[in-house]
Amino acid sequence: MYNKLQYISQGETIEKQLYNIHKALDAGCNWVQMRFKNQTQKDTFTLAEEVKYLCEKYTANFIVNDDLHLTKEIDACGVHLGLTDTKIDEARAILGPTKVIGGTANTFEDIENHVKNGCDYIGLGPFRFTNTKEKLSPILGLSGYYEILQKLKKNNIEIPVYAIGGITLRDVSPLIETGIHGIAVSGIITESDEKEKLIQQLNEKLHANIIV
Ligand SMILES: Cc1ncc(COP(=O)(O)OP(=O)(O)O)c(N)n1
Ligand SMILES: Cc1ncsc1CCOP(=O)(O)O
Ligand SMILES: [Mg+2]
């Protein structure tokens, strides 16, 4: 099963990205999504090779944001694709059955389509406003997650759903109660001065036995 906590990297240079990823791994993250926007192909490739090496050293899963061909080229564990990125079925045809493909969703219908097209997990959001990403889809809030997760249950659609967007520690328990599998976070881990403690607290809440 997929880890319940995914760290999405931040940093405008290769050095800052590596620093942030290294810190997150040291503090106990074992799933990293490398998100390095608006960069040259050369720099993105250089960073990806370094991140792959680091993740192997820490036995962490490594997925690439957006870039399907880079994922294949460096043999990462998988890729995360948004609603305007390469289509999930195209990615599946190129990557084959074993790579992890995550897809962004904002609605029940997005999830239905992703499942039909061979997606492995869903990043459903945004939960609330965040400065980490520009051009956000409509904010879902807790009620949005509750509605969508109920509809998935009613339609017998089973896929790990990750909440994303502006999530803080105190959001985790109520989000888990909606039926999500886990969370994908960037800001709270990158900015924390006590990363190890935070990751431990996040994992405790993510793994608490909640009867939904
Ligand atoms: C786990 C997860 N969920 C959603 C996203 C957002 O993807 P996308 O909409 O393509 O936006 P960018 O991250 O590419 O700006 C994600 N990256 N990860
Ligand atoms: C990539 C992405 N997609 C929707 S919100 C978001 C950013 C998540 O980062 P943060 O946890 O800092 O809000
Ligand atoms: Mg994208």
* pLDDT at residue 210 tops 70: no
What single DSSP character describes residue 8? E
pLDDT digits (tens, 9 = 90+) for 64-73: 999 999 999 9
Query: What is the residue extent of each domain of the chain?
Result: 5-207
Distance CA 61, CA 58 (A): 9
Residue with tokens 């389509």: 113
Q: What string of DSSP letters covers 168-183? A: -GGGHHHHHHTT--EE
- Per the prediction, the chain carries an average pLDDT of 97
- The 10s digit of each residue's pLDDT in 91-106 is 999 999 999 999 999 9
**Residue whose CB lies within 8 A of the most ligand 2 atoms, among 37, 129, 162, 186, for a mutation test:** 186
Encode pLDDT of 129-169 as tens digits: 999 999 999 999 999 999 999 999 999 999 999 999 999 99
Residues in the annotated binding site: 33-37, 65-66, 85, 104, 130-133, 166
Would you state the CATH architecture of domain 5-207?
Alpha-Beta Barrel (3.20)
pTM attached to this predicted model: 0.97
